[in-house]
C-alpha cells in the first residue's frame, strides 16, 4: 500500500463520519434527501471522488440509496445488508465457528429457560406444534430445514426481544447449513420431529430440567452430525 492510497482511504473515512454526523445533526430520517454532491464537497472540503467513494460505502452499509436525477436518499436496510455480507461466509464452517454458533443458540434456547417459561403462551406452543407438523410434510431436505429453522425462530420469538430475533435471523444462512449437515429427508421425520415434540411436551408442563436436557441434547445432535461429515471428508481426501 503506498502513501497516496492511505491518504485517500483516510479522507474517505473522514467524509463517511462527517456524513453520519450531518444526518444526525439535521435530524434526517428515512425518505429524506442528503445535500447534493457539490454541496457535500463544499461542506466537507473534499474532492468529488472522495465524496462519491464515501457515498458508495454508505450505500453498502444500507444507509443511503443513490438514484439518477434524484440524488442520495436516506434508507434503513442495515440489517439486510449485514445479512447479505454474512451469507458470503457460509460455504465453509470451521469447528470453531460451528461451536460458536451452537453455543449462541444454546444460550438463547437452553439458558433462557426461565424467561421462556414465563412468557410462553398456549398459542405459542400451538404454533410451534404446527411448524413441527409442517416439517413432516416438507418436500425434501431444503424445505424441512427451513421448517426446522422456523421452529427455533418461533421459540426465540417468545422472548419478545426484537434485537435477539434480528441477530438470529442474521445467522440464518449458517444455521441452515448446520441443520442440513449429514441429514436426509428421513432424518427430519425419524429424529428431529420427535426431539422437537419432547421439547414441546416439557414446555407445556413447565418441566425445567427436562426442557433443558431435551433442548441441549437436540442441539448437541448437530455436533455428532458435524463430526461424521468432517470424518467422512477427511477419509475421502486421503
Domains: count for the chain = 2
CB-count exposure of residue 15 (10 Å: 0-12, 13-18, 19+)? buried
Read off the pLDDT of each residue in 64-88 and give the average, rounded to a whole number.
69
Domain match, 14 and 70 both: yes
Domain boundary among 26, 52, 76: 76
Q: Where would I find the H helices in the chain?
A: 3-25, 37-44, 48-60, 78-87, 95-109, 113-119, 122-137, 141-157, 162-170, 172-180, 185-187, 193-204, 208-236
Domain match, 127 and 196 both: yes
Domain boundary among 76, 111, 130: 76
Domain match, 69 and 106 both: no
Counting residues of the chain whose pLDDT is more than 90, the rounded percentage is: 42
205: CB partners within 8 A, 6+ apart = none
Read off the pLDDT of each residue in 63-68 and give the average, rounded to a whole number.
84
- Beta-carbon-side half-sphere exposure of residue 115 (alpha carbons within 13 Å): 13
pTM given for the model: 0.61
Render pLDDT for 146-169 as a digit per residue (tens, 0 to 9): 999 999 999 999 999 988 888 888
- Tell me which residue range forms the domain holding 148: 92-229
Straight-line distance from the first to the last Cα atom of the chain, in angstroms, rounded to the nearest whole number:
40
Label residues 45-69 b or e (16+ Cβ within 10 Å = b).
ebeeebbbbbbeebbeebbbeeeee
Contact 143, 180 (CB under 8 A): no
Domain match, 72 and 173 both: no
Render pLDDT for 164-211 as a digit per residue (tens, 0 to 9): 888 888 888 888 888 887 778 788 888 899 999 999 999 999 999 999
Is 83 inside any structural domain? no
Amino acid at each position: 500500500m503506498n502513501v497516496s492510497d492511505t491518504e485517500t482511504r483516510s479522507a474517505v473515512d473522514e467524509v463517511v463520519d462527517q456524513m453520519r454526523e450531518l444526518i444526525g445533526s439535521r435530524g434526517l430520517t428515512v425518505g429524506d434527501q442528503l445535500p447534493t454532491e457539490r454541496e457535500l464537497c463544499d461542506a466537507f472540503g473534499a474532492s468529488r471522488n472522495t465524496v462519491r467513494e464515501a457515498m458508495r460505502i454508505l450505500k453498502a452499509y444500507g444507509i443511503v440509496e443513490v438514484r439518477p436525477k434524484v440524488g442520495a436518499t436516506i434508507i434503513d436496510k442495515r440489517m439486510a445488508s449485514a445479512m447479505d455480507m454474512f451469507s458470503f461466509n457460509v460455504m465453509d464452517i470451521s469447528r470453531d465457528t460451528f461451536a460458536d454458533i451452537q453455543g449462541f443458540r444454546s444460550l438463547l434456547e437452553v439458558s433462557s429457560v426461565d424467561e421462556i417459561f414465563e412468557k410462553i403462551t398456549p398459542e405459542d406452543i400451538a404454533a410451534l406444534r404446527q411448524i413441527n407438523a409442517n416439517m413432516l410434510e416438507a418436500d425434501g431436505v431444503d424445505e424441512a430445514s427451513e421448517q426446522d429453522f422456523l421452529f427455533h425462530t418461533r421459540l426465540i420469538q417468545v422472548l419478545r426481544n426484537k434485537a435477539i430475533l434480528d441477530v438470529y435471523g442474521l445467522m440464518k444462512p449458517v444455521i441452515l447449513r448446520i441443520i442440513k449437515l449429514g441429514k436426509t429427508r428421513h432424518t427430519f421425520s425419524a429424529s428431529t420431529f420427535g426431539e422437537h415434540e419432547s421439547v414441546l411436551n416439557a414446555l407445556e408442563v413447565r418441566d425445567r430440567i427436562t426442557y433443558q436436557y431435551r433442548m441441549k441434547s437436540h442441539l448437541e445432535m448437530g455436533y455428532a452430525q458435524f463430526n461424521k461429515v468432517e470424518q467422512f471428508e477427511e477419509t475421502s481426501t486421503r
